């Protein structure tokens, strides 16, 4: 046929004729690593939330009627209750960024005929991170420190009564019913305080993020300039007996942090949950013991007794020549135990891990003797 060559040109090929060099790469692409400054957009430790409970369903208004029984009496059922708004602590949540500014519970259904009650409204569950503090008008109303712990933020309204409820000897045919009550309305302030066993405390560029990278699988940003870490990171240290110790990298503090200089108050509040502290000082600077004195002063000025928690002093950057000469002077000036190491080269990390386990075991025994359940990761 004369049309055969034209049909062969118009018909699609049975297989792809594109060369391998020009073919589109269909493999799964790896996600790009998020920088620390980009990560601050997703980390939120304060949130103002308006919660409203679900409204109760109205009562039913009907009279029973069937053949040979015209006047069967009232049979309007009660309405269902409105759903609550419940805050639930979830260990998978690490920030308040996914919490919306408004939540409302589901409404209850209206009562039906034949004495049928309306269905209750479903509860609205809001997942928040472990360590979330709930405040109302500056007053603490809940502290969610355990995984799965719940707090009813707003109660749902009660359902209305149907006309069957008002049946009495004096009124055999009630025609009135009640509407459902509105749900409770509140404005709450959520505040996140990082929950960890140990907290790395130090001035900017002391090597806290590098140390957390060396002892755990956490990947905080590391650079040669101060204030690289802009929000807390939690790393998990694994031991051979399957015990896990959580270590929090608190962003660097500066002098006057207790007076809210810089972002001092935003950083200091994350240290309150830590059971023991790891002071990280830079051994390469002149008089490194001055850093420890300044750090303890800032903690004590923020909250009395915070600097008296069990602690250990970590002298970082021991791989430098100036640090090795400052180490004996630091041990003379400091009463606490000093562990000299290098987060960059990994020197003497074993001593830190062993002492970290000792502090953890002591903390667990103390809480068990007081009848408390220790925090597990």
The predicted structure's pLDDT at residue 152: 95
The predicted structure's pLDDT at residue 363: 87
The predicted structure's pLDDT at residue 5: 47
3-state secondary structure of 234: strand
Q: Name the token pair of 108.
A: 């209850």
Residue 23 in domain: no
Q: For 137-160, how does the pLDDT look when each residue is reduced to its tens digit (9 = 90+)?
A: 989 999 898 888 999 999 999 999
Does the pTM exceed 0.85?
no
Strand pairing report for 198-202 and 244-249: parallel
Residue 278 in domain: yes
Residues of the chain with confidence (pLDDT) below 50: 3-10, 12-31, 34-41, 258, 260
The predicted structure's pLDDT at residue 246: 86
Location of structure tokens 């708004």: 85
Same domain assignment for residues 129 and 262: no
What distance in Å separates the CA atoms of residue 333 and residue 317, rounded to the nearest whole number? 19
**DSSP for residue 291:** H
Which CATH number covers residue 101?
A: 2.70.210.12
Same domain assignment for residues 281 and 182: no
Same domain assignment for residues 278 and 241: yes
Residue 78 in domain: yes
**Helical residues (DSSP H) of 303-371, grouped into ranges:** 321-333, 349-369
The predicted structure's pLDDT at residue 9: 45
Residue 36 in domain: no
Instruction: Report the number of distinct structural domains present in the chain.
Output: 2
Q: Are residues 241 and 229 in contact, defined by beta-carbon separation less than 8 angstroms?
A: no
Last residue of a domain, one of 194, 214, 237: 194
What distance in Å separates the CA atoms of residue 243 and residue 229, rounded to the nearest whole number? 27
Domain that includes residue 128, residue range: 43-194
Same domain assignment for residues 166 and 143: yes
| Contacting residues for 77 by C-beta, under 8 A, at least 6 apart | 59, 60, 111, 112, 113, 114, 115, 116, 117, 118, 162, 164
Q: For 57-116, how does the pLDDT look when each residue is reduced to its tens digit (9 = 90+)?
A: 989 888 887 777 777 788 888 999 999 999 999 988 878 888 899 999 999 999 888 888
What distance in Å separates the CA atoms of residue 371 and residue 360, rounded to the nearest whole number? 17
The predicted structure's pLDDT at residue 291: 85
Count of all residues that appear for the chain in the document = 377
Q: For 109-136, how does the pLDDT look when each residue is reduced to its tens digit (9 = 90+)?
A: 998 888 889 889 999 999 998 888 899 9
């Amino acid at each position: 046929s004369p049309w055969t060559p034209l049909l062969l040109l118009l018909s699609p090929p049975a297989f792809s004729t594109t060369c391998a060099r020009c073919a589109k790469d269909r493999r799964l692409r790896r996600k790009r690593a998020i920088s620390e400054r980009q990560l601050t957009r997703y980390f939120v430790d304060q949130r103002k939330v308006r919660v409203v409970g679900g409204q109760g369903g109205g009562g039913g208004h009907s009279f029973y009627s069937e053949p040979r029984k015209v006047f069967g009496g009232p049979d309007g059922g009660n309405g269902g209750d409105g759903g609550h708004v419940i805050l639930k602590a979830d260990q998978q949540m690490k920030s308040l960024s996914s919490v919306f500014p408004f939540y409302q519970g589901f409404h209850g259904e209206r009562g039906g005929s034949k004495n049928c009650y309306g269905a209750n409204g479903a509860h609205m569950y809001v997942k928040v991170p472990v360590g979330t503090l709930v405040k109302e008008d500056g007053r603490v109303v809940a502290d969610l420190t355990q995984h799965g712990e719940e707090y009813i933020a707003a109660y749902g309204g009660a359902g209305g009564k149907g006309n069957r409820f008002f049946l009495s000897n004096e009124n055999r045919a009630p025609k009135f019913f009640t509407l459902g009550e509105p749900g409770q309305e509140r404005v709450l302030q959520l505040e996140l305080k990082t929950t960890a066993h140990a907290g790395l405390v130090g001035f900017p560029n002391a090597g806290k993020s590098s140390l957390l990278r060396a002892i755990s699988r956490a990947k905080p940003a590391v650079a040669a300039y101060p204030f690289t870490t802009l929000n807390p990171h939690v790393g998990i240290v694994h031991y051979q007996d399957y015990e896990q110790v959580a270590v929090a990298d608190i962003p660097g503090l500066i002098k006057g942090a207790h007076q809210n200089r810089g972002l001092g108050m935003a950083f200091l509040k994350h240290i309150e949950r830590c059971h023991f502290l790891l002071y990280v000082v830079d051994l390469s600077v002149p008089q490194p013991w001055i850093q420890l004195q300044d750090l303890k002063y800032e903690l004590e000025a923020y909250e009395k007794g915070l600097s008296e928690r069990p602690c250990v002093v970590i002298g970082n950057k021991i791989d430098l020549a100036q640090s090795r000469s400052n180490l004996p002077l630091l041990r003379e000036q400091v009463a606490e135990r000093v562990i000299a190491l290098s987060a960059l080269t990994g020197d003497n990390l074993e001593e830190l891990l062993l002492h970290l386990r000792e502090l953890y075991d002591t903390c667990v025994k103390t809480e068990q003797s007081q009848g408390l359940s220790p925090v597990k990761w």
